[in-house]
Copies of this chain bind each other. A is one copy, B any other.
Amino acid sequence: MKLWLFGIYGIVGTTAIAGNKAIEKGISEKTGLVSELPDFEGLANFSPLSFDEIGGHDIRNIESNLYEELFKHWEENQHFDYRILKQLKEDLEKIKAKKGTALNCGEGVLEELKPIESLENENLSLEEIVDKLEKDLLEFKDEETVAINVASTEPTIEYDENIHGNIENFEKAIKENKKEKFTASMLYAYVCLKNKIPYANFTPSIGSNIQALKQLAEENNVPHAGNDGKTGETLVKTTLAPMFAYRNLKVLGWMGYNILGDLDGKVLAHKENKESKIVSKDKVIGKILGYYPYTITEINFFPSLKDNKTAFDFIHYEGFLGTKMKFYFTWDAIDAIVAAPLVIDIARFLNFAKKKGQKGVIKELAFFFKSPMETDIYNTHTQYQMLVEWFNKLKNEG
């Protein structure tokens, strides 16, 4: 099985690969990998933990290599033991990004990641960009290749039913070079689904989350999933909010205040790039409670933290006899460390799904996402059970 990452030089991408290799080499434990829990015994028969090959697109430092890029993130964060790092050098130096697209990725990306080295810079038409991306993937892929988008968060683009509503029009608009109607993640998702490569959107960017691409996935019998990895504060929210519901306690307000200082933080400091993220984080409370209490959901840049995302949550609720009470939590984690194993998990489950003949949105992967597609189940526990049941059912099939 092979793994392709869009945004491969980011901290999530590089850390996922580093961890994968470290486990392969026996120098790190499998902690953090959902797919290695006893509940998923047998998964490895379909989707092994080791990948045969890893590749990806990025839009920065195309001449660099994965080790160098990982090392830069590491120097800022020292996010795992330096002895592991050293032993990965040789393997990781061999992995190099291909040049991707930054189409309509917003000021956040263009400003914070410059100099950008993307296909647009080469004066290509939309069709030519798509062709280049496709060529990279076709060269790489085998029958068991999965692609995951861990690139920076894009701004949302206005939904245009005419173009995004079905795959025929979507492809026509590419031919007609209607660049303003597409973002990078849509192109990545398109190229994957077109070529029967399962695709997952680990970001809140649009990716495969439009009618045209959902149709394509169904037609091509290819599974996909998203959006936005549920890794930190939102994971806790969706684990905890059910408690208030089960106990008939009335949530009066829920404040969630996130700070971080890495590249992702820089990009999200730009309003348009932040927007989809906020929506993604904010709505989960109401989905779980069945009513929408007052909420504050903010992400702010705090440079010295780098990738050490810290979140402060405050829940004000009412109990018996109308009495108000308080609950506080603080999340203090390394964003890439909580995200990276899920990238591997999702890839393995998508490959499993494909082998088991699943197609379209795999809503049973909701457990991994802040904004799961095509389901209203946001409760972490229910999502986990759903995943286990789905896996067991398919495992025992055929």
- Which A residues are within 8 Å of any B CB, using their own CB? 15, 18-19, 22, 28-34, 36-37, 78-82, 84, 235-236, 239-240, 242-243, 246-250, 252-253, 255, 257, 259, 294, 296, 300, 302-305, 310, 312, 314, 316, 318-334, 337-338, 340-341, 367, 379-382, 384
Contacts and interface: CB of A to CB of B under 8 A. Distances in A.
14 contacts: A28-B320, A31-B320, A32-B248, A32-B319, A84-B321, A246-B380, A246-B381, A255-B302, A259-B296, A294-B304, A320-B337, A327-B330, A327-B331, A379-B381
A25 to B, nearest CB: 12
Contacts of A312: 257, 312, 314
A389 B74 CA distance: 45
Nearest to A294: B303
Given A31-B319, A247-B34, A332 B341 contact: no
Candidate in A19, A81, A247, A316 with the most chain B CB atoms within 10 angstroms: A247
Contact of A248 (B28, B37, B318): B37
Contacts of A341: 248, 319-320
Given A248-B37, A304-B253, A367-B246, A325 B316 contact: no
B367 A320 contact: no
Contacts of A81: 78, 321-322
B78 A322 contact: no
Given A31-B322, A81-B322, A246-B381, 15 more contacts: A18-B321, A32-B319, A33-B248, A34-B248, A37-B248, A80-B321, A240-B240, A253-B302, A296-B302, A304-B316, A304-B324, A305-B316, A310-B326, A319-B341, A320-B341
Given A82-B82, A239-B242, A259 B324 contact: no
Contacts of A18: 321
A302 B256 CA distance: 12
Q: Which 8 A-B pairs have the closest CB atoms?
A: A32-B320, A252-B304, A381-B381, A80-B321, A325-B333, A329-B329, A328-B330, A326-B332
B381 A323 contact: no
B243 A28 contact: no
Given A259-B296, A303-B253, A310-B314, A248 B31 contact: yes
Contacts of A84: 321-322
Contacts of A310: 314, 326
A187 to B, nearest CB: 30
Contacts of A305: 253, 316
B367 A338 contact: no
B325 A332 contact: yes
B239 A321 contact: no
Contacts of A334: 319, 323, 325
Nearest to A310: B314
Candidate in A84, A312, A320, A331 with the most chain B CB atoms within 10 angstroms: A320
Candidate in A248, A321, A332 with the most chain B CB atoms within 10 angstroms: A321
A348 to B, nearest CB: 13
Given A239-B240, A243-B380, A296-B302, A259 B325 contact: no
A380 to B, nearest CB: 6
Contacts of A379: 381
Contacts of A384: 242, 246
Nearest to A332: B326
